[in-house]
Structure 1
Amino acid sequence: MTLQLLLDSADPSKWEAWLPTGLFAGITTNPTLLRRAQQPCQLDHLKSLAAAAERLGCLELHLQAWGKHAIELAECGAALAQLTTPALTIHVKLPITQAGSQAASTLIAAEIPITFTACFEAPQVLIAAALGAQHIAPYLGRINDQGRDGYTELIAMQRALEGVGSSCKLLVASLRSRRDLSHLAAAGIDTFTISAELAEELFEVKATLDAAAAFEQDACSGA
């Protein structure tokens, strides 16, 4: 198992803060994150954002296509895929709806990597597996918000993909705490997209910070 972390943000200032750490292989965005970061959800602007991500060493950028119908989603997804460069791979995100699945079929035939989003139930991963998508993103926190056991649901998704021998991977989204990561990693899930705030939480271990401060103090006192 090789752990892969993606930064879930459309804020270039957060990209600049976190990508140089080497912790993240890429970035995930969607129209909601763009709106929150006051970034226009427009192709020309996404092109400039992709260029900024590439300059920061981002290897993959997951951009969500938009459109009410399958043909619109497919056309938007194809345009987003054109932002791929030798150093940066664009993954087109599509909702795991009937229209999204139809658009995905067209894009996958053109060898465009697809990430399905808004996954809430285990049987949905079989759609992604059947079509040959690279990733499907279940929303852990939102599943829990429905009063269900998100851990159990995601483990069922993972077992379903393994059971049919699919190469499609879960890209777990909507994580709320660092313990979500360790719990799911122990079950064999290895790909996550997390917010900058959760990334900060990973390093906020008081005992570690106290030990590091003591090391620095001792090093200075012995100079």
Structure 2
Amino acid sequence: MLASNLTRTKFLVQQRHNMKLYLDTANTSEWDKLLPLGLFEGITTNPLLAHRAGLNYAEIDWHAMYARACDLGAKELHVQVYGDPNSYADWAKRIYEISHNVGIDAVIKVPLVEPALRIFPTIKALGGKTLLTACYDSKQALIAHALGADYLAPYLGRMRDQGLNDLEQLATMNKLTQSGPCSVLAASIRSAAHLVEIGLQGTDCATFSPNVVRELIIEDSSTSAWQEFENTIAALT
């Protein structure tokens, strides 16, 4: 019986899984509000998120951005290549140098399209962390595994919009990458409920917007209970 219980305990410990969380925005005012919560491993950005934050991606002061992220406690800042694929490696090298000087890890995001994939090995050879982004099909996990990417980012909400079974595809991606260095970083997450579904799949990481963060941390019943505690203390003093 004792041996059986020990075996079961060992199995349960092995099954425990901590999903790392990332904040998906280029809006630095949101960084200031949400990173101090201590929930996040880092920050993810791309040209579209920069545009939504009122930034011109090509003109961003990345040294200032990395310094700010570092000061707020982020361990990683994920940034995406852009423009002429032939310029990707030089841009990535500059980003890696900036992040090294600041003291935070840069993760270079490369879209899963042929012109970018041809440059990926050169970027990887620079020695920094890498991510393959805009993933829409579990077959692309084979690419991430073969190329040795550190992360693979499936766009789950957008997949669901297209009528795809995003969770089924995600489960396959998790299996295909589990024997290698690549972590699945779930993206395009539409709600806290969606985030829970992703976590139940055993996914390594997830990145989500400030709106989903607020949905995650604000629970009306918890707020009511807290207020009741405070009201009780106030009535006794």
Q: Deviations over 1:40-70 (max 9, x none)?
A: 213652222112111212110001111233x
Residues in 1 aligned to 2:97 and 2:119: alpha-carbon distance in whole angstroms:
16
Residues in 1 aligned to 2:148 and 2:177: alpha-carbon distance in whole angstroms:
11
What is the TM-score of this pair, normalised by structure 1? Answer: 0.94
Aligned residue number for residue 124 of structure 2: 108
Q: Would you say 1:179 and 2:206 are equivalent positions?
A: no
Aligned residue number for residue 95 of structure 2: 80
Q: Which has the larger radius of gyration?
A: 2
Given candidates 202, 208, 222, the residue that maps to 1:188 is 202
TM-superposed deviation, 1:87: 2.7
Residues in 1 aligned to 2:188 and 2:60: alpha-carbon distance in whole angstroms:
28
Residues in 2 aligned to 1:204 and 1:60: alpha-carbon distance in whole angstroms:
25
Residues in 2 aligned to 1:188 and 1:203: alpha-carbon distance in whole angstroms:
21
Stretches of structure 2 lacking an aligned partner (at least 5 in a row): 1-16
Q: Deviations over 1:133-180 (max 9, x none)?
A: 100100000000101111111111111212xx1120111000001111
Residues in 2 aligned to 1:184 and 1:154: alpha-carbon distance in whole angstroms:
8
Structure having the higher helix fraction is 2
- Classify the secondary structure of the residue corresponding to 2:74: coil
Given candidates 124, 134, 137, the residue that maps to 1:121 is 137
Residue type of the alignment partner of 2:54: Q
- Classify the secondary structure of the residue corresponding to 1:2: coil
- Classify the secondary structure of the residue corresponding to 2:91: helix
Stretches of structure 1 lacking an aligned partner (at least 5 in a row): none
- Classify the secondary structure of the residue corresponding to 2:109: strand
- Classify the secondary structure of the residue corresponding to 2:108: strand
Aligned residue number for residue 14 of structure 1: 30
Q: How many residues align?
A: 220
Given candidates 53, 67, 71, the residue that maps to 1:51 is 67
Displaced runs of 4+ in structure 1, greater than 4 A?
A: none
RMSD of Structure 2 on Structure 1 (CA): 1.4
- Quick check: 2:108–2:130 contact (8 Å CA) kept in 1? yes
Distance 1:106 1:43, change over 3 A: farther
- Classify the secondary structure of the residue corresponding to 1:58: coil
Aligned residue number for residue 24 of structure 1: 40
